[in-house]
Amino acid sequence: MSEAGQRPFAAGAGRLAGRVCLLLDWSPGRFWHATPEELRAVLEAAGGASETTGAIDRRTIDAMMERERNG
């Protein structure tokens, strides 16, 4: 078990719900009633990663920051 005795999935789902609610100004109920497809479409429209662009990992961000600092 992880955070506050929750199972890993429950802890991760809670963190995701909080972040999505803040990012999209959604209520928790809106998040929990959204389908994965609805969430993907809204995040993509809001400028999130899509299947064609992929997500940026931490190593890529660090490399970009290093190049900018020294560029």
3-state secondary structure labels for all residues of 1-68: CCHHHCCHHHHHHHHHHHHHHHHHCCCHHHHHHCCHHHHHHHHHHCCCCCCCCCCCCHHHHHHHHHHH
Range of the domain at 56: 3-70
For the chain, the domain total comes to: 1
Per-residue pLDDT of 25-67, as tens digits, reads 899 999 999 998 898 888 888 875 555 556 667 887 787 778 7
pLDDT at 2: 47
Say what the pTM is. 0.52
